[in-house]
Structure 1
Amino acid sequence: MLQRVVRSTIIDAPIERVWAVLRDFNSHGQWHEVVEASRIEGGERSDQVGCVRSFTLRDGNRIREQLLTLSDREHKSTYCIVEATVPLQRYVATITLKPVTDGNRTFWHWESSFATPPGRERELRDMVAQGVYEAGFQNLRRYLRQGGDLRASGTAEAMPAALPLATRRVVVERHGGPEMLRAQEGEAPAPRAGEVRIRQRAIGVNFIDIYLRRGWMPSALPLVPGMEAAGGVLDVGPQVGGLLPGDRVAYLGPLPGAYCGVRCVPAEWVVRLPAAIEDEVAAALLLKGITADYLLRDLGRVQRGTRLLVHAAAGGVGLLVCAWARRLGATVLGTVSSEEKARVAREHGCEHVIVTRDYRFADAVQRACGGADVLIDGLGDAARDENLAALARRGHWISLGQASGPLAPLPPDALVAKSLSFSRPVVFDYVATQPQLAERAQRVWDALADGSIRLPPIERHSLEAAAQAHARLESRATLGALVLLP
């Protein structure tokens, strides 16, 4: 006769945080204290359906279990025992999570069915119910609070929240070229009220970092560049809710400082990452993807039939804008500096690619579509006159950057000839609150999942090689996004 064990509880943490732990089929070696050692056989991923985990319990028993199903949409997984020294026969278990809207908590349901040798029904049923499930609930709560390995006694005391942490960082002490970026040792202080301390695993590189390094934007020296990164929460300061040690997060904020290994940032800059979004992907996409979102949705109001011209169409923002705009039904034109970049731009949805290194493109745009309704410009002053000539009547010029140099002020007469409009947006004004940031970030992750955008090529550099990354970006030799790895 099959035995059935059912246990449920409420975990005081968001469902994304709890699921990030439980979807890892090998994570129980970190948070469940009955487990002595655990590994995934055959080198497979721990979220791969069909993988087998082999572990030893503290009482000496050995068990091999196989992952049967895993659903990120339903927050549900099923597994079975393949082989065990514990006499649980035909054991199948299911873990299901549901969100609890009151307080952003999680309902955790754990159940199993199994057969036992005659006379041992109650003993083994209690072992599963109390020693595995109920103990597991308590262990995971403690793990989420501490953000560390339960078997390392004194984890919370070993790294008190009140102490600063040593970190490597990249500093600009004088404005100038890439050689001004110097790696040095520093400290990440304890988080203050409203702050989160993050161990960073990937850092986004953007042209705004270059503008700050050159002194084209107001900034005090010495300066640590960088506006975005992804990693894991180490600890949180007072008055921070919804984030816990161990959470996988990314952040985007208006103050530089991301070129480092550990950093404190305001909690309102931070979003939790879905399980499917890796750290490098988050660092490559967060700022650029949100930029693409507000350019198309808010400023360009791009829809079917919109004629869109994108400069640097093979860059990090350009590839995302081209793909997303094409999905919206726009006619997408783009400028690039090489045939290789033209190929990549076409792969990401750019229909009409103009290869130019001398900023001449207006005639080609007029021939292809009769002029652009919306123009997204990161080139700056060198493209000024060509931009005016490439725009259609009532066209809108969005000045997003100044790679060729700061754009001189436009006199009104330059716009009135064709009733043009002009804007100079800053991404941080479109994510001024945490809910706005979370909403736009989710749209980016959804667009990646449904194919509206494709992951651009990611070029990786070590944190110490930040100068090389800047030189590559300035040389117009890069494709897609660049990230630094601490």
Structure 2
Amino acid sequence: MHAIHITRHGGPEVMTWTEFPDPTPGPGEVLVRLAVAGVNYMDVGARKVGGPGWAAPTALGVEGTGRVTALGPDVDGLDVGDRVAWFYHPGSYADLLALPARSVVRVPDDVPDETAAAVMMQGLTAHHFTTETYAVRPGDTAVVHAAAGGVGLTLTQMIKARGGHVIGLVSREEKVAVAEEAGADHVLVSSGGGFEDRVRELTGGEGAHVVYDGGGSATFRSSQLALRPHGVHAYYGPFMGVPSFAVTDLPNSILLSYPVVQHHVPTREALVARTGEVFDLVREGRLVPRVGGRYPLADAARAHADIESRATTGKLLLVP
């Protein structure tokens, strides 16, 4: 087998296509031949700076789809030949993986591999954000950072499916149409802070109910100032920097949430239920992932360079 591996943290040049012995599934594991792996900005952070669970040397990637080729002992409910998808398994940039059976779900026959790979991490992230971090209700206004990116496009569609209004933020003028196509009601071009006055103008001076902010330290303060009293600032950009602040710096009695990936699907039951809801949105046509680029798995470094350039839109995929 081969995997994208790093021995030190740094730029895309540290990523190597490395051969390893084929894995053998242990108790409770399945062996899966990769069909498609998804690229996430989390992967870029893991490669650049590491963090808990990402000390070098390590293989990169966290999600994908594939076909079960072997079962380890004590695996129930799955069979050789099943198409499966998984959420947050470090080392997913690999053409062959031994995965915990509890971490995979069957992919419905009418959901293609690329679609499933495109909605696992970002779909379950957006589902958590819009149902638990802040349960979007009809008529609510949400600000979505990086609205033309993978998470942003998914968030926008899920907010609209729940009856909310979306003010999208994009870094470049050419991304406006992409965010609008996903359903954003208004799209502002902003690569940092300073958007709060425009958000307040668009909300009749009241501010947004929720801001989904993956923009890092540069957007942190403006996101809070764009909220109405008791609005929710959902900050999910740890690899973009985590600001330090005093509690008294929080304006307007706002609520600050720091949703983390481990809480998106904390149990097997949650994984199955929430993935089922995401797949249902796909099958109903209310969630249509936009694939912004396909790359050979061995050329994952180019995908990382492209996503860091901020020139991409939608979801980037890696194919063996």
TM-score (norm 2): 0.96
The change in CA–CA distance for 1:484 and 1:236 in structure 2 (over 3 A counts) is same
Tell me the SS of whatever aligns to 2:115: helix
- Verify: 1:392 aligned to 2:228, yes or no: yes
* Pairing partner for 1:430 from 231, 243, 264: 264
Residues 268, 433 of structure 1: 8 Å contact kept: no
Sort the Cα spacing of 1:346 and 1:290 in 2 relative to 1 into closer, same or farther, 3 A.
Answer: same
Question: Is 1:377 matched with 2:209?
Answer: no
Q: Which amino acid aligns with 1:303?
A: R
Say which SS state the counterpart of residue 274 (structure 2) adopts.
helix
Matches of residues 152-191 of structure 1 in structure 2 within 5 Å?
Answer: 167-191=1-25
For the structure 1 residues 461 and 326, does the alpha-carbon distance in structure 2 shift closer, same or farther, using more than 3 Å as the test? same
Of the three residues 390, 397, 401, the one matched with 2:237 is: 401
Aligned residue number for residue 363 of structure 1: 197
Offset of residue 427 of structure 1: 2.6
Residue 336 of structure 1 is matched in structure 2 by 170
Q: Which structure carries more relative contact order (alpha carbon 8 Å, separation 6+)?
A: 2
Please give the alpha-carbon distance, in whole angstroms, between the structure 2 residues aligned to 1:373 and 1:358.
Answer: 20
Which residue of structure 2 aligns with residue 450 of structure 1? 284
Aligned equivalent of 2:44, options 210, 214, 221: 210
Task: Give me the CA root mean square deviation.
Answer: 1.3
**CA distance in 2 between partners of 1:324 and 1:425 (Å):** 17
Name which of 169, 182, 192 aligns with 1:348.
Answer: 182
Conservation of the 8 A alpha-carbon contact between 1:393 and 1:419: yes
Q: Distance in 1 between matches of 2:95 and 2:81?
A: 16
Kindly state the Cα deviation for residue 430 of structure 1 after the two structures are TM-superposed.
Answer: 2.6
How do 1:82-481 and structure 2 match up within 5 A? 167-218=1-52, 219-253=54-88, 255-369=89-203, 370=205, 371-402=207-238, 405-415=240-250, 417-481=251-315
Deviation at 1:480, TM superposition (A): 0.5
The letter for the 2-side match of 1:400 is Y
CA deviations 1:328-371 (Å, max 9, x no partner) are 22121010012221101011110010012343311111111131
The number of residues matched between the two structures is: 317
- Aligned identity (percent) is 39
The alpha carbon displacement at 1:455 in A equals 2.3
Residues 31-70 of structure 1 mapped to structure 2, 5 A cutoff: none
Q: CA deviation at 1:395?
A: 1.1
TM-score, normalisation: structure 1: 0.64
Contact 2:118 2:291 in 1 (8 A): no
| Matches of 2:36 and 2:298, distance apart in 1 | 13
User: 1:256-279: CA deviations, max 9, x gaps?
Assistant: 110110000111100000001111
Letter in 2 for 1:461: Y
CA-CA distance at 1:402 after TM superposition: 4.2
Q: Which runs of 5+ in 2 are unaligned?
A: none
Rounded to whole Å, the distance in 1 between the matches of 2:246 and 2:184 is: 31
Alpha carbons 1:177, 1:214 under 8 Å: kept: yes
Question: Aligned-pair distance for 1:385?
Answer: 1.9
Query: Partners in 2 of 1:324 and 1:429 — Cα distance?
Result: 18
4+ aligned runs moved over 4 Å, structure 1: none
My pick for the range that moved more, 266-275 or 315-324, is 315-324
Distance 2:150 2:141 in 1: 21
Give the secondary structure class of the aligned counterpart of 1:188: coil
